Homo-oligomer: A and B are copies of this chain.
Amino acid sequence: MKKLVNEPKAFVAEMLEGIALANEKTLKYVPEYNLIMRADAPNTNKVSVLQGSGSGHEPAHVLLVGKGMLDGACPGDVFAAPPVDYVLESTKLLASPKGVLHIVNNYTGDRMAFDMARELAEAEGLKVATLMVDDDVAVKDSTHTVGRRGVAGNFFVIKAVGAAAEQGRKLEELVELGQRVNGVTRTMGIALTSCTPPAKGSPLFELGDGEMEVGVGIHGEPGRKRKAVEPANAIADELLDAVVEDLPFKKGDKVALMVNGLGGTPIAELYVVYGHAHTRLTQAGIKVERSYVGEYCTSLDMAGCSITLVRLDDELTSLLDAPGEMGMRIL
**A residues whose Cβ falls under 8 Å from a Cβ of B:** 2-7, 11, 14-19, 21-23, 55-56, 58-59, 63, 159, 192-193, 209, 212, 229, 231-233, 235, 263-276, 278-279, 288, 291-296, 298, 300-301, 303-305, 324-326, 328-331
Contact B18 A275 (CB under 8 A): yes
State the Cβ distance, A294 to closest chain B Cβ, in Å.
6
Contact B331 A159 (CB under 8 A): yes
Taken together as a complex, chains A and B put the C-alpha atoms of A303 and B196 apart, in Å, by 13
Contact A274 B21 (CB under 8 A): yes
Complex contacts, A16 vs chain B, CB 8 Å: 271
- Say yes or no: A21-B279 contact (C-beta < 8 A), given A266-B58, A267-B63: yes
- Say yes or no: A272-B5 contact (C-beta < 8 A), given A22-B293, A63-B267: yes
Q: Other than the known A4-B272, A19-B275, A159-B331, what 17 A-B pairs have Cβ atoms closer than 8 Å?
A: A2-B193, A2-B229, A4-B304, A5-B269, A6-B231, A7-B231, A14-B276, A15-B271, A15-B272, A22-B278, A22-B293, A56-B268, A58-B268, A58-B271, A264-B264, A264-B301, A328-B330
- Say yes or no: A300-B266 contact (C-beta < 8 A), given A15-B272, A278-B18: yes
Instruction: Report which residue of A233, A264, A303 has the largest number of chain B beta carbons within 10 angstroms of its beta carbon.
Output: A264
- Among B18, B263, B288, B326, point to the contact of A330 (Cβ < 8 A): B326
Taken together as a complex, chains A and B put the C-alpha atoms of A55 and B266 apart, in Å, by 12
- Among B15, B267, B270, point to the contact of A268 (Cβ < 8 A): B15
Taken together as a complex, chains A and B put the C-alpha atoms of A7 and B230 apart, in Å, by 11
- Among B21, B192, B272, point to the contact of A18 (Cβ < 8 A): B272
